[in-house]
Structure 1
Amino acid sequence: MAVDLRQVLSAFLTLSLFGMLSNMVKHDYFDSSEEAFEAVSSVQIGVIRVEDQRTGDLRDGPWKEIGHELKPCWTKPAPFVEEPKGYVTFSLTTGPGHHELQIANAVTVARFLGATLVLPEIRGNELGESRRFGDVYDEGRFLEAMEGVVRVAAELPAEAAAQPPPVVRIPDGASEAYISAHVAPLFRRTRLVRIAVLFEKSLPIKGVDAVACLTIHAAVALSAELRRAAAGVVDELRSPGRSVEGRFVAVDLRVNQDCSGDELDKKRGCLTPSQAAALLTRAGFGRSTSLYLTQAKWQQGLESLKEIFPRTYTKEDLIDSEEIKRRIFVEGGEELGRALDSYVCTQSDVFLPAAGDVIFGGAVAGKRIAAGRTQVLPYAHVARRCHC
Structure 2
Amino acid sequence: MKSKTQVHNGNVHSTDTIAGVGAGSSSSPSPPPSPPPRRHSGVSRCRRRPRQAKSSSHTTHSFRTLAAGIIGRRGVRYFFLLPLLYISGLLMCVGPFYALIRQPPLPGSRYRSHEVFQKLWQDIESDNSSAIELSSVWKYKRKLREQKPCPNLTALHQEHFVSPGLNGFLIVEANGGLNQQRSAICNAVAVAGLLNAILVIPHFEFHNVWKDPSEFGDIYDEDHFISTLDGYVKVVKELPEALMERHNYNMSNITNIRVQAWAPVSYYLGAVYPVLQKEGVIRITPFANRLAMSVPPHIQFLRCLTNYKALRFTSSISTLASKLVNRMIEKSSRTDGKYIAVHLRFEEDIVAFSCCIYDGGEAEKLEMDLVRQKGWRGKFRRKDHIIRPSFNRVDGKCPLTPLEVGVMLRGMGFDSNTSIYLASGKIYHGERYLVPLIKMFPNLHTKESLATSDELAPFLGYSSQLAALDYTVCLNSEVFVTTQGGNFPHFLMGHRRFLYDGHAKTINPDKRKLVVLLDDLDISWRTFKEQMEDMLSESDRKGIMVPRVRKINRKTSIYMYPLPECRCLQQFLVNQIDHNLDVPNNYSSRHLNR
TM-score using structure 2 length: 0.50
Contact residue 344 and residue 422 of structure 2 kept, 8 A: yes
Letter in structure 1 aligned against 2:481? L
Could you tell me which residue of structure 1 aligns to residue 179 of structure 2?
A: 97
Percent of aligned positions that are identical: 25
1:129-176 superposed Cα distances (whole Å, 9 cap, x missing partner): 533322211222211111111111111233433331333344666443
Give 1:252's match in structure 2, choosing from 340, 343, 346.
Answer: 343
* Residue aligned with 2:241, SS: coil
In proportion to residue count, which structure has more strand?
1
Distance in 2, Cα, partners of 1:228 & 1:177: 43
Q: Deviations over 1:29-51 (max 9, x none)?
A: xx9689xx9xxxxxxxxxxxxxx
Aligned partners of 1:292 and 1:74: how far apart in 2? 40
Rounded Cα–Cα distance in structure 2 between residues aligned with 1:272 and 1:65: 23
In structure 2, the CA distance between the partners of 1:91 and 1:136, relative to structure 1 (3 Å rule), is: same
| Structure 2 CA distance for aligned equivalents of residues 173 and 73 of structure 1 | 28
1:360 matched to 2:485? The reply is: no
Return 5+ residue gaps in structure 1 as ranges.
1-30, 38-56
2:394 aligned with 1:305? no
Does 2:158 correspond to 1:81? no
Matched, 1:314 2:314: no
Contact (CA 8 Å) 1:123, 1:129: kept in 2 or not? no
Distance 1:84 1:203, change over 3 A: closer
Counterpart residue number, 1:42:
none
CA distance in 2 between counterparts of 1:230 and 1:321 reads: 14
Q: Which amino acid aligns with 1:101?
A: S
Q: How far, CA to CA, are the matches of 1:73 and 1:174 in structure 2?
A: 28
TM-superposition CA deviations, 1:219-268 (whole Å, max 9, x none): 11111221111111111111147763212111111321215375499566
What's 1:375 paired with? 505
Work out which of the residue numbers 259, 266, 275 in structure 2 matches 1:177.
266
Counterpart amino acid of residue 287 in structure 2: V
The 5-angstrom pairing of residues 192-231 of structure 1 reads: 192-195=281-284, 196-199=286-289, 203-205=292-294, 208=297, 209-231=300-322
**Aligned residue among 29, 34, 59 for 2:131:** 59
Change (3 A) 1:160 1:217: same
**Which residue number in structure 2 is paired with residue 167 of structure 1?**
256
Contact 2:262 2:292 in 1 (8 A): yes
The two structures have a TM-score, normalised by structure 1, of 0.74
CA contact (8 A) 1:350 1:377 kept: yes
Contact map agreement 1:250 1:293 (CA 8 A) in 2: yes
Are residues 312 and 377 of structure 1, via their aligned partners in 2, closer, same or farther at CA, if it must alter by over 3 Å? same
Structure-2 separation of matches of 1:366 and 1:268: 22
Q: Which residue does the alignment assign to 1:338?
A: 467
Write the distance in 1 (CA, Å) between the matches of 2:291 and 2:415. Answer: 40
**Rg larger in structure:** 2
- Note closer, same or farther for the CA distance 1:151–1:206 as it changes in structure 2 (3 Å cut): closer
Secondary structure of 1:167 counterpart: coil
Tell me, what secondary structure is at the counterpart of 1:90?
strand
- Distance in 1 between residues matched to 2:270 and 2:394, nearest whole Å: 36
Instruction: State the SS of the aligned residue for 2:287.
Output: strand
Q: How many residues align?
A: 333
Residue 417 of structure 2 is matched in structure 1 by: 288
Residue aligned with 1:89, SS: strand
- If each structure's helix is expressed as a fraction of its own residues, which one has the higher value? 2
Distance change in 2, residues 1:376/1:84 (3 Å): same
Q: How do 1:132-151 residues align onto structure 2 when only pairs under 5 Å count?
A: 132-151=215-234
Secondary structure at 2:282 match in 1: strand
Q: CA separation in 2, counterparts of 1:139 and 1:125?
A: 22
CA contact (8 A) 2:332 2:418 kept: no
Gaps of 5+ in 2: 1-106, 114-128, 357-388, 509-538, 544-556, 568-594
**Greater relative CO (CA pairs within 8 A, separation 6+):** 1
Matches of 1:83 and 1:250, distance apart in 2: 42
AA at the equivalent of 1:315: K
1:191 and 1:328 map into 2 onto residues whose CA distance is 38
Q: CA deviation at 1:80?
A: 3.7
Q: CA deviation at 1:82?
A: 5.1
| Aligned residues of 1:62 and 1:284 also touching (Cα < 8 A) | no
Q: Letter of the aligned partner of 1:111 in structure 2?
A: G
For each residue in 1:301-359, what CA deviation from the matched residue of structure 2 results, as whole angstroms up to 9, or x when unmatched? 32232221111111111124835x12322xx10000111111111110100111332x2
